Amino acid sequence: MNAGFIRRGVSTFFDFVIVIALIYLSYLGVGRTIIQNQIPYFDELYGAFLEINDAYGEDVERVRLEYDASIELAGGNKDLEAQALANYTTSLTILDQQNLIDIEPYNRPITKFFLNSIYYFAIGFLIVMGIYTVAVKGKTFGRRIMKLELTGKLNPTSIFVHDILLKYFIIVLTLVISIYGGLMVFLLALLVDMALMTFTRNKRTFRDTLLNMDISVQGRGY
């Protein structure tokens, strides 16, 4: 019997958490340092960037408190309240413009750091998940826990195409290009898989049908 959407979804969640945890640990251990070393004086730049944003936050809070005090002193006078709002808006605009000027020299190196970190997780996920899935011949931890088995014409290539290329690659690639676009692709893929596994008799996704594979529920001996 082929597995349904919930069972396969839980299986995928277990495997996803395991791989992301491994990549995160490697990022803390070596990845972050490697990425930082590609940016000259990163620690100094990032420290200054944080100080500027902290100061900006304090200034915004100060302006807000001044506005609250002005509203209280206005005692319900509409003209005074309107003047207080105008002063508040003007002060915020000035702070925003000044903050943009202050952080401009730091935008490029800081953006490079965060983009490279995203690439590290995205590429690392595909590599680790690919090696892991192929090495265990599709019998991942998540599938073992949920008592699922990948069946069909199994070989390293077909397993990689089914479990990595058609399942994750397009979503990860889109996420790297655009977070919102990636989320849209993920939700669309999720809805299509859910519909196919819920409303079709054989409970097959497009990748299952394309490669003539099934993910079936097994007994205790699996």
pLDDT tens column, 66-103: 999 999 998 889 899 999 999 999 999 999 999 999 99
CA 89 from centre of chain:
34
Is the confidence at residue 48, as pLDDT, over 60?
Answer: yes
For the chain, give every domain's residue range.
5-216
d(CA 133, CA 15): 9
- Give how far Cα 130 sits from Cα of 9, 216, 222, Å: 18, 21, 22
Max CA separation in the chain (angstroms): 79
Give the pLDDT mean for 185-190.
92
Express each pLDDT in 98-120 by its tens digit.
Answer: 999 999 999 999 999 999 999 99
d(CA 83, CA 104): 32
Q: What is the DSSP string of 49-73?
A: HHHHHHHHHHHHHHHHHHHHHHHHH
How many C-alpha atoms does 176 have within 13 Å on its Cβ side?
17
- Give how far Cα 74 sits from Cα of 27, 66, 104, 176, Å: 54, 12, 38, 51
Q: Quote the pLDDT of residue 221.
A: 43
